[in-house]
Every structure is written in structure tokens, then in C-alpha cells.
Structure 1
Amino acid sequence: MTTTTSPDPAEATVVGPPAGSARPSAPAPTATAPAPWPDLVSAALLGTERRRPPVAVRAGQGAAAALLDAAAVSTVRRRAALRPAPAGERPAPAPADPRPPLPPAARRRLSLLLADRGGAGGGSRRGTAPDLTELLPQWLAAAEGYGYRAPDALLPALLDAARARTDLRPAALALAGPRALWLARLNDAWRFALRGIGGPAAPPGDDGAEGVRRRWEEGLFAERVALLTALRRRDPREGLDLLRTTWATERAEDRLMFLDSLREGLSAPDEPFLEEALSDRSRNVRATAAELLSALPGSALAARMARRARTCVGLDRTAGAAVIAVEAPHECDAGMLRDGVAPTPPSGRGERAWWLGQLVEAAPLEGWRARFEGRDPVAIVALPVADDWRTELHDAWCRAAVRQRDAEWARALLGAPAAPAQAAEVAPTGSSRDLTKLLTVLPAEERARWVAEFIATHGLSDAFRMLGVCAVPWAEPLGRAVVDALDIARDAGSYPWSFSGVMGLAERCLDPAAADRLDMLTAVTDEPEGASPGSGGYWSEAFLRLVGTLRLRATMRTELAPPPSPGDDGRGAP
């Protein structure tokens, strides 16, 4: 009599009979190779009636039972094939985070915000409920201001949210603290945390110079960028010295990223290195080095560009009144090429105008006072320009003001927003001028006042990007100007969905204290003749959502406030 080692006929193996017994006349069945696991899974998913399982079926046994038997045997075989192995090295313990924990209410709020980060849907009408996804960045920024640390249990969800949205990363990693780096080294999905965006990016404190050098030579590219950025924040010269040690052996794309890191703490001691980079074999590296040098008004490159620009732009001595005369370059010589001037213009631009713009953009703005007989920027900008060069020249001055962060020139080029004629002149047809970038050069309060006056005069149609660069929460004059413009649009019966972007910005940027005075706008009003159908209901819904969001933001801010200390009268610091 025979016995088998497996209930599956496909796995049956004949064992010889005991001594003295008769050998069976039938030949022993041959062991067959087990069916592949994916084939078993496919048959199970499709069903044995639609796909014949790749196993032998015994007499009286159904195909489904045979499939289950084969799956059981395959599972045992797979488990039995694992051999014991030495345990892997345990990861180092997570570093301590001495910052205070979140208050309980704020912890619950963070959990809700992270759970809702998928959004509420993509319909055109969002209802009156606040959009928690858009409130998460503000909550993170407020928590960072209090110096809290994230709860350990919420760190994975916080890192997942930061991985999905790059705008969350600085504040999310600052809240997560050093344990975010510890987790990132254990999970490739969170490696972005090693790039030094946010709070965890800091140079090693205890490793000393040798530890810094080892991390620079052995680290991943993202870790090296983070290290260089952190060193530049702490000591710009130390970061530059570290970069010099391996500069010649770096890849072109890596040299470009490392060079861009020198924007942190850029100063005169960086000039010799950047001058050397002007001869780099990579065109992009040369262009970046030239841009950085032109941002140093005292650099040799800035002086060379100023000399070239002065030969092209000056006062016309033959005219009776003061007029700016322009004579654009006739060629792009070798010196201009070395200093970062791109020889080939984009489509639709003339060569000479293209070269002129680059020269003026890179020339220090402070040098134009002497060129125009001591006139200040406002007077220079007001001068007429001969031969239709005004737009080209002013556009180049705008780019120079942004690059050199010169608020006086930015103010002159922006002009007065409340004057329609002046505002139209700021960005004439065909201009490449970016008013939003110019606004970023102004102090925050002045920027908000300028945009508020612009909206009061010209409405919201051209102000969306300007609003995006204003400090949050919006200053009172700016918030009032936005709400008034929205109210005017509603009363005029304007198409409501065209203002959804501004309304979304208002939900995130208006001061929460404005909620009470906005209550009057939540009522459904009569639609004026010619208004978009249903606009009254939409505007009411949008203002209800705005008021609800502002009140939720106020509640979130209250939840983040630390509990009063013993003996505190509850009124807080004076």
C-alpha cells in the first residue's frame, strides 16, 4: 500500500512498500511541477467556471476544491522555503525633540486637516463648508510661530501631505522637526525631507569639520544640497569653501544646483569664484554665474555691463528738451558672451533689442543717476525715450529692479495705481513687464496699499496675481478693497464663477476679524436685469463660505494658543 506526502495529486510522491509486500503492478505517478502562484490567483479571481484551474482534479473532486487544495499546498511550500537568517541591524533611536507638544484641541484639529487633505471634490459649486485642504498651510504656519512639535502618531500623515504638496513642505518639516529626517532615511517616499526644505535642514553641530566633509563627499545629492544651503545660512564663506573642494569633478547639472545655492548669503567674497564660473563649460552654469554677479552692484561684471549699457543709453545732446537716446549694440562680441549675454533672441525679438535688454538688466541701477545728470529714478522714468525704445528700456529697468531688489526704482516704475493714465503706461501693449514681480520688491505694507488702490481704481480683473504676493493676513485697506470689489461685482450681476479664484484667496488671506462685518453680504439679493442666471444664490453661498472659513480660522488660532500659566489673569502679555 502506498502513502503520499501531500493531499494534492499533483504533489503526490510514491513511497516504497514495506519489506515482503507485493509491489503494485500500476506505475507510480510522476511528480509534476507546482502551478505558478499567479496562475492560481488568476483562476480564483475569474472563477473555475470561466477558467480551468492549472491543477489536477481527482475523481469526485470539484475544480474549485482542487484549486483551493493547490493554493494551500503552494502557500505551505512558499513558507517552508524561507530559511532563518540573522536579524538586520536595528535602526538608531529617533532623536529627541524638546519642543512643547500641541495643545489637545490643536492636535485634534491637525488630525482632521490631515484626514481631509484629499479635498471635497471638483464640482463647480463647493457649498458653504470651508475647504480644509486650503486651511492646512495656514494652520502649519501658525503652529510654527508657537514653536510646537508635531505629535509622533501624526508624523507619517504629515509627511505624506508634504510629499503630495510641495507648498506645504517648509512649514510641515519645521513642525515635524528632527524626527522627520529620521523617518525619511527609513522610507524612500519621504526622501524629499532630506533636501533641506524647512526646519530640519541644519548643519551638523557635533560632527565638526570632518563630519561635514564626510557628509558632503558621501551623501546623496539632495542631502548635499541641503548641507550646502544650511552652511550658507550659517557661514557663507564656509559653504563656499566646501563647494570648492569638489567643484571640478561635479556634473554640470549638479554644478548648476550648487551654484544656485549661493544665493543664500551672496556677498562680495563670492565674486572670485563666480568669475571663474563664467568660463564653465556649461552654458547654464555660465548664465547663472553672470546673473549672481550682476546682483552684486560692486562686482567687476556689473561694472563691465554698466560701461556697455552707458554706451547704448544716454541723454540726447542735440534735442532741445531732455530726451533719452538709445543706440542698441550692433554685435554680441566675445566679452559679452563670457559675461552671460545670450546671443540668440527668442522668436519675435530682434537681436539688437535682445542684447540691449540684457545689458541694461545687468547694469547697476545706481549708476543711472550720474548718467542722467543727477536725476532720481522717478525723474529718469518720466523722461521721453526717442525712436520707440521706451518699452524695451523700461522693461529692462524693471527686470534690473527685481534682480537687485531696488525698492526706489520699483516704486518709480510702478507709478501711481490710482491714476488710470499712469497705470496704463506702466505696462503698455507688447511689454514683457511683470508688475507682480516689481511689487515683491516693495515693503509689505506699501505693497498692500498699492494693490488696494489698484483694485479700487481698476477692479479685480487684473489683480489676482498681485493679491498672491501680498502678506497674509491682508492689511485692512487691502481686505476692504477686495470685499468692496466683490460686492460691486455682485450688485452688477457679473458672472459669479469668474471671481471664484479671488474668493478663494479671500478665504485664506482676509483677516478673520472681518467675519462679523461680512454677515450682511450673505443674504440672497435680487438679481439685476441681465445678470447671470442663479448668480444671486451663488454669491450668497460664496459669502456664507467666506464668513464660515474666517470664523474657523479664528477658532484654529485660538486652539493653538498655549494654555495660561499658573497665576496668569488670562489676558496674556501686555
Structure 2
Amino acid sequence: MNPLIQTALTGTANHPATPSGVDAIDSLVRAASAEQHLLLQAGALHAYQRAGRMPVQITLPPQATTEIRNHPPAPLQQVFSRLCESVFDALRPWALQRVAERGWRLPHAMLPAILARKDSAVWSCVMGERAEWLRQQHPDWRDQSENEQQWQDADARLRIWQEESFALRCKALRIQAEANPAAARQWLEADLSREKAEQRLSLLDIWLPFASGAGDVVWVESLLSDRSQPVRQRIAGWLAQQPASNLAQRIQQRAGTVLQFDDNGALQITLPDDLPRDWEKDGWNPVPPAGTGKKAWWLRQLIALMHPQQWLCAGPEDDASWQILTGHSWSESLTAGLCDAVLRYNDVAWASAIFTRLPASYIQQNCITLFSLLPAERQTTVLLQLLAQTGQPDFGAVVRYLSALQTPVTQDVAQAITAKLDSLLTPALLQELQNQQLRAQDMHELLNLLEQLIPACADQTIPAIVQLIQRLNIFSESENWYYRSLTERIVRLLMQAEFKQYLMKEIFL
């Protein structure tokens, strides 16, 4: 240890002899006390050791690319600051996209703070050229970029599959399946049997949409011996869609026994009293849900595994098909199984016909997933029909339909929703709501609907939405604790709507 450091640690009183540093320096030090002498020696020695040291040679990074986007005006810089607030999480993507469409970018001073945010990807459309340059200079931001690049390397994906957490392994499998389904199957062949049942099901859900080859079919059929019934059921659902699979042939044979049409075209259904063991091995769930008979449950599963065209000769637009489905004593199981099959086979024609031909009570459990299959024009038509119904619509259903839309809310839909709400939420009705005339869940769904509508609605619709939310402020004076508790959320919605209105009027977004 350096004598000066030792003396400093133990104290000058414990060292009667003056510690030595460099003789040439020590002789020049003049001090009134031992303590001062020690400090001067240390300072002089530090300067002596640094004297003549060569500077570190570094290579400066290349200059950032010239900005293509325009520097934002001062009012817009204040808007960027406000958009960082959590209250505008739902509105932020809309606002930033509108800014990007007008060719503006973030001011350079804000880039470090934005790059450090978890939602920095949302801001990428307005970051400009300087952001990528900064990302390469900062180790944390550069690592984020490099971490994304590692997913494109096959060896890196294999290492992640073998060593990392289950969530990362799932991501690696999905990317591998997109790039090379056969290689992804080899991963599963080697490791799937060692996974828990829930994990086996998750991994198969990731890989099966990419599988299609004859080798895939053979391997998947071998998994029908899996000890987990949900896994067998998932496998059976996929194999049923492969005409060359042995399971698809067995299903067709069973359907020929269970479903028979007489000379008059009437459907006769004959089901076994007990579920055969080979049916259960092929994925049938023997235990029906509460309130459903066992034979009805088995029939639904059989219908769900077949494309409608395999047992209904008439197409989705033929009245005969719907007469069989809705006029039969087993209609509930037949229609439920049909909805399941339409979803399994992604049949748009049948999905569209279901909304026209079947009463809403038949498709309640599947309405949103069926709705997501429809083309955008048909989705809009269904939603407008729902809003055109007399009386109060199911706000929860409207919210769920909006979330399933393939395209942003159109001007017609936004105006229809706003008009419907405007006609319903009169001051008189709002006063009645405080007396719990409307279920609490309905009010919750109404606020969800408004929250989705604010960023999605057309520009000319936002003033009407602001007025609607302002009407809801009546709940702040309610004697009912539930409606009074909604005040904070209503205030947040009003802030979002008014901020969007301000952006369109004052910032010209």
C-alpha cells in the first residue's frame, strides 16, 4: 500500500515519521502541520503521476443524417410534452400519426427522454433521423436494437429455445416457424414431451398455423396419444382440416353414421349412448359443460370438426341449410357446432350468412369471433344494423364489435354511434341513471365505448362527443356512490376529447 494512503487511513498521530512520496517533491512541500503536509504531498504526487500522460485516442462517430422532417413550431412542442402524460395513452398513436402525416418531427431536445420510454416504438413515426444516430451512441438503446436483430439469426434463436425462459422460447419458436416450419417442428419433436401440458398446448398453438406438409401431418397424428385431453382436442381440430389425415377420414365415417338424411331431406341423428373410446382418443371431450346434455355436447364437437359443406349439401345462401339447422330438435347443438366449424375453417361466406340467418341468441358466445372474420364492408353493415335497433343498444356488444373491426372506425359508423348516444343520453335519462335504472356494467361499457371512440372518430364528430361527455358530469353530484365514483374517469375522457378538439382546431391536425 502506498505510504501516503496508509498514513491517511491510520492517522498522522500514529505515524511519527513523515511518509515519503517522491523525494524531489517532498523537499518542496512547506506545511504548518503534519496533516497539511500529508495533503499537499498527496496532491502534488497526483499531479506528478498524471504529468506527461498521453491522451486517449478515440474515433468520433459519423455525423447524424440530415433531417428530412421539419422542426416543429413552438405550439406543437408543447403538444409533444402533454402527449407524454399517461392520460393521453389512448390518444397518443392517433396524434403522433397525424403529426407524422404533416411532416413534423420531435425537437432534438426531447429525443433522449422519448428513447428511454417503454412505448418509444409508438413515437418512431416522428423521431426523425437524429433518433437512430442517438440510439447507436447509447449502450442501452443500442442493446435494444441489437436484441431485436438477434431474433433474425437462426443460431441465436436456437440458443434462446434451449436456454431461455418459456416466454422467450415461445417467441423464438414463432419466428422460427415463420422462417422455417420444418426446423421448428424438429425443435418440438426433440423437446415437446418434456413440457407440461399447458406448455405443450401453447407451443402447438404457435407452430400449427405454419404446418402443412405430409411429414407434419404424420407427426401430429402421433400426438393423439398425448395424455392431456385439451392437447388432443387441439390436435384433432388441426388434423380435421387436413383431408389426407387418418383422423379426417375417421370423422367423415362417424358423421355418415350419426347424420343421415331421409328421402324427404329431413335430417336423422343417431348418437351412441356412451362415448366410444376411440372418439375420446381422437380429441372428444366426454364431459359436457353445465346445462348441456352429453349427447348434445358430443354432437356439437362432431359438427365443429367438419366443414359445413361436408354435411350440408346446400350452401350458406340456401334456405334449406337454415331450415335444417334451426328447425331440428337438435338445433342448439347443430348451430353451435356450425359456428365453431366456421371459425375453425375461417369460412367468410358462412360467417356472413350466420349474421343474416340466425337469431342473435344462437350466436351470443361466438358473435365477436365470427364478426372478426367478416370483410370490412360487412362488418360496417352489421354494426350499423345493431345501432339502428330501436331502444337502448347493448353498449358492451358495441365496444366488442369495435375492437374486432378490421379497419379504423369509418365516418358513418362514428356518426351513427354518436347519434345513437345523443338520442339516448338525454338529461332526463341521465337523471334516472343515478337511481340505478341502468346496470352498473352498462355504464362501464358505455365509458369503454367512448374511450375507444375518441381516437377513432372522424374529425367532425369530436365536438358532439365532447358534448356527450360533458353531459355525464351530472354524476359528480350523484348521491349514488357508484356513479359518483365514475367522475374521475369521466374527467379523463373529457380531457382526451377536448385535447383532440384543440389539436384539430389550433394545431390543425
Which TM-score tier does this pair reach, normalised by the shorter chain? 0.5 to 0.7
Aligned residue identity for 1:479 = A
Report the equivalent of 2:298. 355
Distance in 1 (CA, whole Å) between partners of 2:425 and 2:350 is 37
What is the deviation of 1:521?
6.8
Report the equivalent of 2:91. 135
Equivalent runs, 1:139-178 vs 2, <5 Å:
151-158=111-118
- Quick one: which of 360, 366, 384 aligns to 1:426? 360
What is the deviation of 1:415?
0.9
Query: Is this contact kept in 1: 2:454–2:462, CA < 8 A?
Result: no
Distance in 2 (CA, whole Å) between partners of 1:274 and 1:221 is 22
Instruction: Please say if 1:382 is aligned against 2:315.
Output: no
- Quick one: which of 329, 335, 340 aligns to 2:278? 335
Instruction: Please say if 1:445 is aligned against 2:391.
Output: no
Query: Is this contact kept in 2: 1:137–1:171, CA < 8 A?
Result: yes
- Quick one: which of 146, 152, 164 aligns to 1:219? 164
Distance in 1 (CA, whole Å) between partners of 2:65 and 2:287 is 56
- Quick one: which of 501, 504, 507 aligns to 2:454? 507
Query: Is this contact kept in 2: 1:410–1:442, CA < 8 A?
Result: yes
Report the equivalent of 2:226. 280
Distance in 2 (CA, whole Å) between partners of 1:202 and 1:366 is 45
Aligned residue identity for 1:312 = V
Report the equivalent of 1:460. 393
Alignment RMSD (CA, Å): 4.9
What is the deviation of 1:237?
2.7
Distance in 2 (CA, whole Å) between partners of 1:470 and 1:450 is 11
What is the deviation of 1:407?
0.8
Distance in 1 (CA, whole Å) between partners of 2:82 and 2:452 is 22
Equivalent runs, 1:18-29 vs 2, <5 Å:
none
What is the deviation of 1:345?
1.4
Change (3 A) 1:446 1:171: farther
Aligned residue identity for 2:501 = R
What is the deviation of 1:451?
0.9
Aligned residue identity for 2:333 = E
Instruction: Please say if 1:262 is aligned against 2:196.
Output: no
Deviations 1:250-289 (A, max 9, x none): 4444322221211443434532232122222333332322
Instruction: Look up the SS of the partner of 2:389 in the other structure.
Output: helix
Query: Is this contact kept in 2: 1:353–1:392, CA < 8 A?
Result: yes
What is the deviation of 1:552?
5.6
Aligned residue identity for 1:379 = D
- Quick one: which of 240, 249, 252 aligns to 2:185? 240
Query: Is this contact kept in 1: 2:158–2:172, CA < 8 A?
Result: no
Query: Is this contact kept in 2: 1:415–1:426, CA < 8 A?
Result: no
What is the deviation of 1:364?
2.0
Aligned residue identity for 1:435 = C
What is the deviation of 1:314?
4.1
Distance in 2 (CA, whole Å) between partners of 1:556 and 1:293 is 58
What is the deviation of 1:363?
1.2
What is the deviation of 1:153?
3.4
Distance in 2 (CA, whole Å) between partners of 1:483 and 1:210 is 53
Query: Is this contact kept in 1: 2:271–2:295, CA < 8 A?
Result: yes
Distance in 2 (CA, whole Å) between partners of 1:301 and 1:355 is 16
Instruction: Look up the SS of the partner of 1:352 in the other structure.
Output: helix
Aligned residue identity for 1:382 = W
Distance in 2 (CA, whole Å) between partners of 1:264 and 1:391 is 29
Aligned residue identity for 1:470 = L
What is the deviation of 1:447?
0.7
Instruction: Look up the SS of the partner of 2:91 in the other structure.
Output: helix
Change (3 A) 1:544 1:238: same
Instruction: Please say if 1:470 is aligned against 2:417.
Output: no
Instruction: Look up the SS of the partner of 1:451 in the other structure.
Output: helix
Distance in 2 (CA, whole Å) between partners of 1:359 and 1:98 is 62
Query: Is this contact kept in 2: 1:449–1:477, CA < 8 A?
Result: no
Percentage identity across paired residues of the two chains: 21
What is the deviation of 1:485?
0.7
Deviations 1:189-220 (A, max 9, x none): xxxx99xxxx9766644x5x544433332333
Instruction: Please say if 1:293 is aligned against 2:234.
Output: no
| TM-score, normalised relative to structure 1 | 0.58
Change (3 A) 1:516 1:212: closer
Instruction: Look up the SS of the partner of 2:274 in the other structure.
Output: coil
Equivalent runs, 1:425-574 vs 2, <5 Å:
425-428=359-362, 433-458=365-390, 459-461=392-394, 462-471=397-406, 473-491=408-426, 493-495=428-430, 498=443, 499-515=446-462, 548-551=498-501
Query: Is this contact kept in 2: 1:111–1:154, CA < 8 A?
Result: no
Change (3 A) 1:487 1:227: same
Distance in 2 (CA, whole Å) between partners of 1:283 and 1:368 is 26
Instruction: Look up the SS of the partner of 2:185 in the other structure.
Output: helix
Aligned residue identity for 2:300 = G
Distance in 2 (CA, whole Å) between partners of 1:107 and 1:233 is 41
- Quick one: which of 305, 311, 314 aligns to 2:251? 305
Distance in 1 (CA, whole Å) between partners of 2:111 and 2:159 is 32
Aligned residue identity for 2:400 = R
Report the equivalent of 2:350. 409
Instruction: Look up the SS of the partner of 1:325 in the other structure.
Output: strand
Equivalent runs, 1:44-123 vs 2, <5 Å:
112-114=82-84, 116-117=85-86
Aligned residue identity for 1:426 = A
Query: Is this contact kept in 1: 2:352–2:378, CA < 8 A?
Result: no
Aligned residue identity for 1:439 = F
Unpaired stretches in structure 1, ≥5 consecutive residues = 1-15, 17-96, 118-130, 162-169, 187-192, 417-421, 560-574
Deviations 1:501-546 (A, max 9, x none): 3222221321234336768878979x9xxxx9999xx9x9999667
Query: Is this contact kept in 2: 1:204–1:211, CA < 8 A?
Result: yes
Aligned residue identity for 2:222 = E
Distance in 2 (CA, whole Å) between partners of 1:557 and 1:400 is 50
Structure (1 or 2) with the greater helix fraction: 2
Distance in 1 (CA, whole Å) between partners of 2:180 and 2:506 is 37
Distance in 2 (CA, whole Å) between partners of 1:140 and 1:376 is 44
Report the equivalent of 2:20. none
